[in-house]
Structure 1
């Protein structure tokens, strides 16, 4: 299978490239600079230009781009950037998939689609929630429609919190635990829909290779945990105490009220309904297993 990937240099994209190649697939990476390797092709989302036959012979396109959601406070300018960095490339790719009659389009989304669901278990049949993230994810997914309208198999992967030794959520948390500053956020009752990097990549590959998978797919571990439970599990894996509580007012002061509310205090008890029904076997079915893979035994906390 010839797979074209946008967003191939990020945490998920780089791991996906490696796994697809190990599995015998051909990978073409879309870049926005001058190509520096034989497998790279330049594209420019604002103009819709793909250079050097980037999509020629493609069997599938994977879209993993987008500015970091939790990297900065959500000013109006930042929120506009978050929307533009997702909606424009997704629309351009969906239109290109339709134009080139590429049969498969796997496009990113997030469990933020559901808003704050409390302790209610949800799967892909749940409706969109409220808030900036929910609206962003809804519009992000809607941008794939040009591909769907011509009959492409479109998979919208709603990713949870990816656990990896190489960055992401743990990249931010491990230094805090190293300095004995780990602790739960707010009440700690909010659910954290985690997934290991291995299963994130494995599930995307599963979606590419299994024709019965389409529509929204939750990329989350089968056993979501609360923030308190996650904090305890991470402290145990790092052999560090986590005695602290970061109160809501402090989170809102540091991050901004809206950012803190949706990024730290909202939660989704999201279950991988489609993956389980289609027979995907998780490499790390518990948060303890996912953390053990991300933090090997004996490795220091930072």
Structure 2
């Protein structure tokens, strides 16, 4: 297949490209030289680098698009300027891709586009799947809802659209876990507040295997929760991580302190999202790491 990929130098994108070596990939990146260095051991001669979609008049000749581009949502406080950067980095490129699909006489057969479980907002301990309809005014939901609305404009008889409602992706070379490791290694890790909020986590390997599954499953379309079938509470996650690192688990972070440090973006760690990946499992997708202990054991083992 000939694929157009955005966000290929990100945490998920780098791992995904390792699973696409049998395909011809055109990678959209802001800096082609930097991307080439980042992917030195992944690029087997199957990747072409472009720095702008203006090089393309349409997407004829492409079999699929995988759109993972976007400013990291948790790296900085959500100032008005940062919120605009987060939105523009997702909405603008997705709009351009949809316009190119519409300009094509033979468009790609599938458009796989990013989103996040932030779409759902705080659902407390309620167990739910992709059928849950949500209308909220919080920032994370607004970002995801409009991002999905834009992507769905590409849906047609010729092009199916799949939306990746991604949870907390765990891996050994970046992502959320990289930010957590130091305090836990120092014996300072612990739950946030009472730790009762649910974390919709997924191992990086299952994340990319799931994307490939959507790519290859011709009837797949609509939103998909990319998270383990076994969500855990923040307290369970924290205790399991400390155990795998062989460190004490006696401290905790008060919610008010987190909110003081992170502002509005603290909701990413405080909100409870007990999402089920119903559509993936109904497709027959088998998770390599369905349980948090085996997932963290695998990741911590690589780090050591």
| Shared fold per TM-score greater than 0.5 | yes
* Equivalent in the alignment of 1:190: 197
* Equivalent in the alignment of 1:231: 238
Deviations 1:69-126 (A, max 9, x none): 1000111111111101100011111221232211110000000000000100110001
8 Å contact kept, 2:32–2:51: no
The TM-score, its normalising length taken from structure 1, stands at: 0.92
Q: What is the aligned counterpart of 2:24 among 16, 23, 26?
A: 26
* Equivalent in the alignment of 2:134: 128
The 3-state SS of whatever aligns with 2:252 is strand
List aligned pairs for 1:168-187, cutoff 5 A. 168-187=175-194
Deviations 1:7-29 (A, max 9, x none): 000111011111111xx222221
Distance apart, 1:4 and its partner CA: 1.2
The 3-state SS of whatever aligns with 2:19 is helix
The 3-state SS of whatever aligns with 2:170 is strand
8 Å contact kept, 1:98–1:152: no
Distance apart, 1:223 and its partner CA: 0.1
8 Å contact kept, 1:61–1:104: yes
Q: What is the alpha-carbon distance in structure 2 between the residues aligned to residue 162 and residue 233 of structure 1?
A: 16
Question: Do residues 108 (structure 1) and 114 (structure 2) align?
Answer: yes
8 Å contact kept, 2:189–2:251: yes
List aligned pairs for 1:1-302, cutoff 5 A. 1-21=1-21, 24-34=22-32, 39-44=47-52, 49-50=54-55, 55-100=59-104, 101-130=107-136, 131-149=138-156, 151-256=158-263, 258-260=264-266, 262-296=267-301, 299-300=303-304
Q: What is the alpha-carbon distance in structure 2 between the residues aligned to residue 252 and residue 233 of structure 1?
A: 24
Q: What is the alpha-carbon distance in structure 2 between the residues aligned to residue 58 and residue 97 of structure 1?
A: 10
Q: What is the alpha-carbon distance in structure 2 between the residues aligned to residue 205 and residue 28 of structure 1?
A: 16
Q: What is the alpha-carbon distance in structure 2 between the residues aligned to residue 16 and residue 268 of structure 1?
A: 25
Q: What is the alpha-carbon distance in structure 1 between the residues aligned to residue 102 and residue 12 of structure 2?
A: 25
Q: What is the alpha-carbon distance in structure 1 between the residues aligned to residue 73 and residue 255 of structure 2?
A: 19
The TM-score, its normalising length taken from structure 2, stands at: 0.91
Question: When the two structures are aligned, how many residues end up with a matched partner?
Answer: 291
8 Å contact kept, 2:70–2:86: yes
8 Å contact kept, 2:58–2:101: no
Distance apart, 1:276 and its partner CA: 0.5
Distance apart, 1:56 and its partner CA: 4.9
The 3 A distance-change label for structure 1 pair 293 and 54 is farther
8 Å contact kept, 1:115–1:129: no
The 3-state SS of whatever aligns with 2:122 is coil
Q: What is the alpha-carbon distance in structure 2 between the residues aligned to residue 78 and residue 272 of structure 1?
A: 30
Distance apart, 1:30 and its partner CA: 1.2
The 3 A distance-change label for structure 1 pair 246 and 34 is closer
Greater fraction strand: 1
Bigger drift between 202-211 and 126-135 goes to 126-135
8 Å contact kept, 2:59–2:103: no
8 Å contact kept, 2:60–2:108: no
The 3 A distance-change label for structure 1 pair 146 and 186 is same
The 3-state SS of whatever aligns with 1:29 is strand
